[in-house]
Amino acid sequence: MDDVDQNAGRPELVRARKRMGMSQDQISAALWVSSTTWSRWERGHQDIRPVYRARMAEVFGVDAAEVDRWIEGTDPVDTEAWLLPDFSDLSLGATVEAAGRLWRCDVDPDRRHILAALPFVPAALGGWLSEWSYGTPIASVAYQGSGSAVGLSDVRRITETRQAFSQMDHRFGAGMIRPAVVDYLYGTVEPLLRGRYNDQVGAALMTAAAGMTLQAGWTAFDLGHHGQAQHYFGQALKLAKAGDDSLTGAWILTTMTIQAIYLEQPAWAVRLARATVDTAQRAQAPPRVMAQLLSREAWATALQVKMSEAGDGHGVKRVEQLLGEVERLYAQGSSDRDPSWAEWYESTEPVAEAGICWSLIGEHRRSVDCVEAVLRDYGERRFRSAQLSRVSVADAYLGLGEIEQAVDSVRTAIPMARSLASPRLVGRIRKFSDRLEPYATTIRVKEFRAYLNSELTS
């Protein structure tokens, strides 16, 4: 458990704040009270009115009864299982310890379900971005731990294992691989982090551990466990910071952007996307990497346009500019500086993501043309991506009012959804079904919904 001021009258309230990665000033601002008031609450020197207890439950993403337990001190609360990475301490020892604690919680049957049920906490992202961009890197990543000596061959095995997991994830879905990924982190990666290594090996090890941690976060995201995914993304970012690896940091940030887009948090998605691009530009990322990252900025910006209450002509122009730049950069081809994770960004991806962007800004015909053009190019190893694209083209057809085409497009993805362990895909299909509500009385939609329910509940 983390250190808590022994003089605190409400130690579980202190732990709750620290697990959110928030200072007293940050939490008091979120609750619209002074930092002095919050300090009195933590020390037990002032009662907390029901209105503020309710606000705490909202900010912390827990039930009101949980907040009452923290305040009244009736039952000790195991907050270790919902640790958010603490970027206030970027030392190597603290980074290794936090990573191990997260993985340990995830393999513990008594804590795993708590971690999987955690809420997504947007308030944590601002501090993470600030420390990523401006925090001082560790002077040395050499380590003399209690474990065995670690070499570059050990690091390469982590990277190769992560690539194998990634291929399986794209083909079969996260549910098939997530337990194995977490077991590998806890059983193999953590002992290496606690071993003995020099600066060169240490930097490579932090990068490899960040990649595998990101993989675990991505699988949690695909399973719909967004708070758990956020924990892993934050820990991956902290490991990349320890290794002073900007390109890996950009990879993590663009994945966080996708999560924010999926959760329809456009302001955070745009902020994350821009931080990603800034990071990559400082690292002089190769063209195809920049294309991938700019595509995500276009996607986030397009979502912001769609969710704005008034027309956003500037946003539409920005999306068009970004997609043009993506196309130009991708056409420059691959480079010997491309990181291994960039190999996933094959020719289908920029076109499919452009299709999503066009649909979000109302250019539905253009979206259909993009996505239909690449659907036949997906191979078996990108099975899930193909089904997600079928849903995207169905959304575009629906935007055009072509109901039969929309239903036919998404219907082909339903049998595939049964064979994939990907609740994200199922969620996309069900969300499409919800969009059919204006046409709910038509025979075509009634038949489709009956088929959907029979297939996905059988």
3-state secondary structure at position 196:
strand
- What is d(CA 73, CA 75) in angstroms, rounded to the nearest whole number? 6
- What's 71's domain CATH number? 1.10.260.40
3-state secondary structure at position 72:
helix
Which of 58, 77, 96 is where one domain is finished? Answer: 77
Residue 68: CB atoms within 10 A of its CB come to 16
- What is d(CA 239, CA 237) in angstroms, rounded to the nearest whole number? 5
Residue 263 domain-assigned?
no
CA nearest neighbour of 371 among 384, 383, 359: 359
Residue 193 domain-assigned?
yes
Task: Please name every residue paired with 30 in a beta bridge, in sequence order, or none if there are none.
Answer: none
Residue 6 domain-assigned?
no
Same domain, 184 and 208: yes
pLDDT at 55: 83
Residue 153 domain-assigned?
yes
**Helix 364-375, helix 348-360: angle, nearest 10:** 160
Same domain, 214 and 94: yes
Residue 358 domain-assigned?
no
Same domain, 55 and 151: no
Question: pLDDT tens digits, the chain, 458 residues: what are they?
Answer: 344 454 568 888 887 787 666 788 888 887 888 889 999 999 888 899 888 888 888 787 777 887 888 888 765 555 554 556 777 788 899 899 889 989 998 998 877 877 887 888 888 898 899 999 998 888 899 999 888 999 999 999 999 999 999 999 988 899 899 999 999 999 999 999 999 999 999 999 999 999 999 999 999 999 999 999 999 999 999 999 999 999 999 999 999 999 999 999 999 999 999 999 999 999 999 999 999 999 999 999 999 999 987 778 899 999 999 999 999 999 999 999 999 999 889 899 999 999 999 999 999 999 999 999 998 888 767 888 999 999 999 999 999 999 999 999 999 999 888 888 889 999 999 999 999 999 999 999 999 999 999 988 75
Same domain, 71 and 95: no
Q: What is the pTM of this model?
A: 0.83
Same domain, 70 and 215: no
- What is the token pair recorded at 275? 């931080």
To the nearest 10°, report the CA torsion of 263, 268, 274, 280: -60
Which of 42-66 are b and which e, b meaning 16 or more Cβ less than 10 Å from the residue's Cβ?
bebeeebeeebeebbbebbbbeeeb
Residue 288 domain-assigned?
no
Residues contacting 339, CB < 8 A, separation 6+: 247, 248, 251, 289
Report which residue type is found at 74.
T
Same domain, 235 and 148: yes
Chain CA centroid to CA 215, Å: 10
Which of 229, 244, 259 is where one domain is finished? Answer: 244
Give just the sign of the alpha carbon dihedral 129, 134, 135, 138: positive
Same domain, 131 and 232: yes
Domain count, the chain: 2
Residue 381: CB atoms within 10 A of its CB come to 11
Same domain, 28 and 137: no
Residue 223 domain-assigned?
yes
What are phi and psi for residue 88, nearest 5 degrees? -75, -20
Which of 24, 57, 77 is where one domain is finished? Answer: 77
Same domain, 66 and 102: no
Same domain, 164 and 40: no
Residue 210 domain-assigned?
yes
Same domain, 209 and 109: yes
pLDDT at 21: 64
Same domain, 182 and 211: yes
pLDDT at 117: 79
Provide the domain limits for residue 223: 88-244
